[in-house]
Amino acid sequence: MIVPTVDEIERIARLGDPIIRNLQITQCYHEISQSVAVLSGYSANWSTFATWASKQAGQTIRQEDLIRAFEERFYLSAEVSAALEDIASHLKSIGAKLPAHVPSEAILRALNPTAAFKHAGDAVARGNKKVFEEIGREFARFIDFFRDDAHFDRDKAARFCAALRPGEPPDGQRLLSEAFTTYCEARFQTGKDKVELMLLANLSAGFHEQIRLQPEIAEALNVSLGDAAALKRNFLILLLPDFYIRARGDVLPDHRSYLDAVFARLTREVNRLIRQVITDHLMALHLSATEVLRLGRDLPGTFPQALKQIRNARLREMLARVDVTPDSLNKSGAEDWADFTDRMHFIADFFRVYQERQYLFDAPFTTQQVALLKSGVRPVGRL
């Protein structure tokens, strides 16, 4: 079994290619997860969940299926069709000679949604790196620091946490101190006590993580085409270059208000579709080859027996802070992933429902894919 080191975390974080970096981050999270499990047992730890979240983030970073999903929605949108028809009709009325058929590729090139999706992918990649180089690094340090312990040593845990910054996130690391102290404590417990402590540690780390990720999540979900004036100019230059050169000085200014209004309609609808596509990607989580969670829907299943009723007072306090529907999966689905409270409610229930599911420790990639991605080559096949 490979045990990641702080040096390895720092090496991966320095990689310049965001796609290769994400693949190596995902694999490293899996290796951290396995190493922590050897110490603390096979309740999922934060890195277990982070493995699958990072794997999912890779789809957005690679922009997999984003354009295809956008095109499907674009061509089915009645608002897009109406706006394009209004634009074409008005341009013809002022002398533009439009071709009988405008290729769809030309329209998409004029709109350039790819730029918005790239921006979203860049934001997700930055968040992926930010969390890994902070929390992943501390997990590697944790494994090395405590690997030979035979009992819970609170003083040693305090020495480990002394390297963490005091205060609240995003700048302070108090929650990480609580998480790692609780992982140390959980290591030497059994049964329900151990399971509850693992959940408390996971939630403490997860709470810190989500506060740190808030800017990148909001940025990814709020990307757009830009202003309607730029869209109008690009549209006319790419689709009607001769007319644009001829008419921009005298004809187009007289029709600016109408065209601006129609292009504003088109821009609003396209931006709505872009956000819809990105939201669908960010609010899906593939946990295996067959299981996909839709984060906007209530979680399926039930809490495991050991977590149905919570005894640990600190865990009850944490759940009261993050779970607005106590001891219930009702309304666990997140309506707005950019809303921290909404997102954290889902994550709290997700951790509680899935923590004891052993398949979360499955490898995210095949042996052949791991060999390639560790050599800096993007593997083929499903990633």
Q: What percent of the chain has pLDDT over 90?
A: 75
Number of CB atoms found within 10 A of residue 265's CB: 17
* 257: pLDDT strictly greater than 80: no
Residue type, 203: L
Contacts of 382 (CB under 8 A, 6+ apart): 289
140 and 6 in contact (C-beta within 8 Å)?
Answer: yes
Residue 346, Cα to own-chain centre: how many angstroms? 14
8 and 17 in contact (C-beta within 8 Å)?
Answer: no
* Average pLDDT rounded to a whole number, residues 294-310: 96
Crossing angle for the helix pair 113-131 and 66-76, nearest 10 degrees?
140
Structure letter (DSSP) for residue 4: -
Smallest CA-to-CA distance from 27 within 132, 124, 144, 134 is with: 132
For residue 84, the surrounding DSSP H or E stretch is: helix 78-93
What confidence score (pLDDT) does residue 294 get?
Answer: 94
Q: What percent of the chain has pLDDT over 70?
A: 96
132-190, pLDDT tens digit by residue?
999 999 999 999 999 999 999 999 999 999 999 999 999 999 999 999 999 999 999 99
pLDDT band, residue 244 (cuts 50/70/90): low
* Average pLDDT rounded to a whole number, residues 303-321: 97
Structure letter (DSSP) for residue 328: -
Between 12-26, 236-250, 251-265, the lowest mean confidence (pLDDT) is in 236-250
* 256: pLDDT strictly greater than 90: no
Rounded distance between C-alpha atoms, residue 78 and residue 80, angstroms: 5
Query: What's the pTM value of the predicted model, to 2 decimals?
Result: 0.92
* 366: pLDDT strictly greater than 60: yes
